[in-house]
A and B are shown apart, each in its own frame.
Chain A
Amino acid sequence: MVISVPEKNDISLVLCGEAGQGIQTVEQILVRAFKMTGFNVSASKEYMSRVRGGQNSTQIRVSSRRVAAFLDRTDILVALSPGAIKHLQNRISSATIIIGDEKDVGKDHIGLPFRKMAREIGGPIFANIIAASTVCQMLDVDLETFHHCLTSMFARKGEEILEKDIKAGNQGYQLGESLKKIKIEKNPSLSSELLLNGSEAVALGCIAGGCRFISSYPMTPSTPVQAFLAEHASKVELVFEQAEDEIAALNMALGASYAGARSMVATSGSGFALMGEAVGLAGMTETPVVIYIGMRPGPAVGLPTRTAQEDLDLSLYSGPGEFTRAIFAPSKLEDAYYLSQQAFDLAEKYQIPVFILSDQYLADLYYNFPEENLRDMKIKNYLAKTKKNYLRYQFTPSGISPRGIPGYGNGLVVADSDEHDEAGHLTEDLEIRTKMVEKRYHKLKELKNEVMAPELYGSDHYQLLVLGWGSTYHPLKEALEELDNEEISLLHFQQVYPLHPDTRMLLEKAEKNVIFENNIKSQFANLIKLETGQEVDKKVLKYNGIPFSVEEVISNIKGELK
């Protein structure tokens, strides 16, 4: 059989099967095996909100280059269920190699006896291991490497199961021998690089940022951040508490923060909507807190397991009244680690709520990168030891009062959700009221001096400026690489509020600009307009729950060039 393969040393492999078939396990094994072999690897998934059945798929890119974007193109489809080909019909072409069970894929494709062999080994669940191993053989992954990955995944399940998995691996590998090999350049130094997903990168950053307390209510796609911190809580000395609801979660975090623990919550759209009241409490009591939101399509329950950038407005405007806040939207895993530390730092320094907006796509996105790319931030201690007659809300030129906590010093710390005087006691003195509003809001002035600059990718002398924020980075950047046009540059934001002061100038320089967002209102373009007066010329908006693909971005940009 002749197999056509793109010449770029870059394969898009898609695994598709039903929920409950273990696609995620296979994804884990494959990404590890590919990276150990010396390939760059990235994986992103789309899945249904159900525990069994349906069609879930994972795209794994295996490449000699560092690529991490979602592609429409599918070079190899491993169809693990009868419905897989139909599910992915828009992402396969005549060039796609389709491998599946002989009973599912028909004569035009590569039908192999996965299920029959699996039954002989001990059950249909082994079919995906056989298929994974077949693919490894095709991509020239050592059987030994594959065994190693199987062992690290299944050793805890006991010898008997591991033995069967190894057997399945061996048989799959043999099946692969009859298929043509696909060559991708190997770089052995990659094998020791880090391999994380977006949830882990954020959670590790929170630990590095000194997080001591997290209370949350489980909600996709924020649950993995909660689970990571819960799993490692005792080792890194933090408290994880599952709250009875999101209302309790944020109020609890504020209590812990009031008592001096760096605190956070993790949630998603509707869960965050319940926290709105307490966002105001954070603003009023000037209590630091980090709010991680894994965005998904709304309103209400929406599409629970899909991706979106729909909650920028909600984060920006949540909570009654007026006060200062900051919003980050990490775009790269390496930076998510740093930004999470920065979120804790800014929250503590300015005594404000700081948001980290991620989404399903980024939360589930895996790729490898060198450890040096993880930047650490030195932790500064902003707590003040109190003296007698301590004033929690003392007026200062910057609006930031020395922050005491109960039990540290001789003073008393009074925090109040009512309007209050400098001591923290409730007041209806309207002169004090005016000064307190200004105190809380004017912290923004200083905060604006340390906004993270957007990344300009491409030449300084651009005609067309492509704009994006958060998780759209990889597809946008790869599209620009592909287009290789000096007149097009990308301006990508990882801090979306407040905006960097150069934003206006950078937009003005372009003859035309185009923004890509996963929402219908162009929420970030509206914010840019509001803050800079600059209208974004063209808005490419996608809100079906699927991230932008590289091809989609290219075709939209080409449309702008005509």
Chain B
Amino acid sequence: MKEDVYDMLGADVAWCPGCGNFGILTAIKKALSDLDIKPEELVLVSGIGQAGKLPHYLKSNVFNGLHGRSLPPATGIKAANPQLTVIDVSGDGCMYGEGGNHFMHTIRRNVDLTNLVHNNMVYGLTKGQASPTSQIDFHTPLQVEGVFEEPFNPLTVAISLGAGFVARAFSGDIEKTREIIKNAIQHKGYALVDIFQPCVTFNRINTYQWFQKHTYYLEKEHNPQDKVEAFKRASETENYPLGIFYQNKDKKTFDENLKVYEGDGRPLYQREVNQEALKKLINSKRGL
């Protein structure tokens, strides 16, 4: 499938010129096109923030929900119709701040979805406050003395919670990002891709140049099956490794655990009330 099937012609894109989100949008389209996923079979789910607007710029089904709350509806969509490909697009504030609890528990459920988190270490849409991933001493109009909280490390958290696929990409490298996203979509189960992406307006520290300088790709020898090694590499903060840190293909997914799909893959909307089962249940309530 050609990339342009996903183009939203005439969309009024609200991102700043040069925004790191553009690279991510392109990489997603390329990955989808490589995998031949039809827009009708795809649902993009998002919350609020500049990242949360991405689904409006890519032709697909969309559920653009509340701030921090993209993963629960994504879970519900997958539960109701496992045949759909579900990609959750979120930002660092939405996913790791407001939605932190859902982030943890969606990993535990192992919902078969791809969780793309645009990580620019700042709040863009609200004009430049600290995010959970902002670095120590980052100054903003609200963090006037500078950030003192330990930056949130999504990768180590995800690995320790047993996420089946954990990766990091950089939007400045569209080709490599495309490959990582492709792998994430193909992974059966929950897949996290934290994507470094410069905010050209509100983050003058973590710029394209800064990310270029402070990131490098994991070596070919890195074994993504080695959980302890993955955790170690994900803990590095001097310079940040990119690539697939960890993958475990053997985990049972959320929808594989749902009894309704045992021997019957039909989505829930296609099913009718099982009158016989209902009558039986009512009959069992005679206290006999």
Contacts and interface: CB of A to CB of B under 8 A. Distances in A.
A239 B61 contact: no
Contacts of A22: none
B288 A152 contact: yes
A210 B69 contact: no
Contact of B268 (A36, A208, A213): A213
Nearest 9 A-B pairs (CB), nearest first? Answer: A255-B76, A260-B269, A255-B73, A251-B72, A256-B76, A259-B80, A406-B61, A261-B80, A234-B259
A278 B61 contact: no
Interface stretch (A87-95, A154-162, A414-422, A446-454): A414-422
Contact of A213 (B39, B76, B84): B76
B97 interface: no
Most buried by A among B55, B273, B287, B288: B287
Interface stretch (A44-52, A170-178, A242-250): A242-250
A428 B103 CA distance: 30
Interface stretch (B20-28, B191-199, B234-242, B276-284): B276-284
B255 to A, nearest CB: 9
19 contacts: A32-B287, A36-B288, A192-B286, A194-B282, A195-B285, A195-B286, A234-B259, A236-B273, A239-B268, A241-B75, A241-B79, A243-B105, A251-B102, A255-B75, A256-B79, A259-B77, A412-B59, A418-B64, A425-B11
A256 B268 contact: yes
Contacts of A243: 72, 105
B231 interface: no
A562 B90 CA distance: 67
A251 B286 contact: no
Interface stretch (B40-48, B165-173, B211-219): B40-48
Interface size class of B (residues with CB under 8 A): 35 or more
Interface string B76-94: 1101110110000000000
Contacts of B102: 244, 247-248, 251
Nearest to A31: B287
Contacts, number: 213
Interface residues of A, number: 72
Contacts of A313: none
Contacts of B75: 241, 248, 252, 255
Contacts of B287: 31-32, 35-36, 195, 368
A439 interface: no
A307 B271 CA distance: 37
Given A191-B288, A254-B65, 19 more contacts: A195-B286, A200-B285, A207-B273, A213-B76, A235-B280, A243-B72, A251-B72, A255-B45, A255-B74, A255-B77, A255-B79, A256-B268, A259-B81, A281-B66, A383-B269, A405-B269, A416-B56, A417-B65, A426-B64
Interface string A185-207: 00000011111100010001001
B64 A263 contact: no
A85 interface: no
B76 A254 contact: yes
B104 interface: yes
Contact of B76 (A36, A235, A253): A253
